[in-house]
Structure 1
Amino acid sequence: MSLQDRFTAEIKANHRIIRKVCLIYAGTKDDQEDLFQECLYNAWKAFPDFRMEAKFSTWLYKVALNTALYHQRKNKSPALEVGFEMAYHLSTEQEDNDHFDQLYQAISILNGIEKSVILLHLEGMSYREIGEITGFTETNIGAKLTRIKEKLKKIIIKDGF
């Protein structure tokens, strides 16, 4: 199987990872699509160096999150708010659920690193896996998650999501 065929197969199996990151980090559909293309491009450029020491999905999260964080810094844009409608589409498995939508609206207000950590946590990743992607220690991830959860509670209560 060629490098391009392997990459295409992996992306087809894991494209939702990039979509979720784009929904959290980009405000409009056009911005999401631009960020998606940028993530794909960066993943393709880095794919020859992927050593398969980690799962492809873990590696792809790292590429997508780094791309989104760089994109956000480059554009010097504050945390972009994800609309109610966009938040719903973050999970194709979730039923229409007010609490789910409220959570993702609140997440859109967090800073870039906080978004990354909570997104990976919501994906069911362990502290170790989150640490591999973000570069933080497991202990630091635990502390960050505690602070992020408290911050989200305050946002939801204060803003009435």
Structure 2
Amino acid sequence: MTALILIDVQRGFDDPYWGKRDNPDAEANIARLLASWTGPLVFVRHDSTTPDSPLRPGQDGNRFKPELDRAEPDLVFGKNVNSAFHGEVDLHEWLKARHITDIVLAGVQTNMCVETTARVGGNLGYRVKVVLDATFTFGLEDLTAEQLAQATATNLRGGGFAEIVSTDDVI
């Protein structure tokens, strides 16, 4: 069985605080995934502990983006680290209890929480697919968002952590 895990698809990532992002089609692709998905669905929210973060609980930026409004996830929980496997819920136990062996990941940020979740999931033995065109990130230090997304794809694929797929591949 396969679960779709949407990571940190939150309004706070629209804040100029983050800088220039890549992939303006990410939200539309996330909406397409949701519209076609029939299996278990998980929403993960980043609950930042950084005082000036737009993702802090209690702020509008902590809420999910409107593309997720109509969905009925099987599990919703918060985390304050990069991996969805290290949040308020033991995601690994939740998946095992439902005999889920494959996970499809999408969300924000490609090279942070999505990549970390993919790596941990791969280490735990899940067959992981990352829907690269349903993720986005921001430039960091001297690399552009596009370069970071490509580096993530290379790292995950080359390291055997995940298969890199498109929204069309999943649908």
Same fold (TM over 0.5): no
Whichever structure has more helix as a proportion of its residues is: 1
TM-score (norm 1): 0.30
Structure showing greater radius of gyration is 1
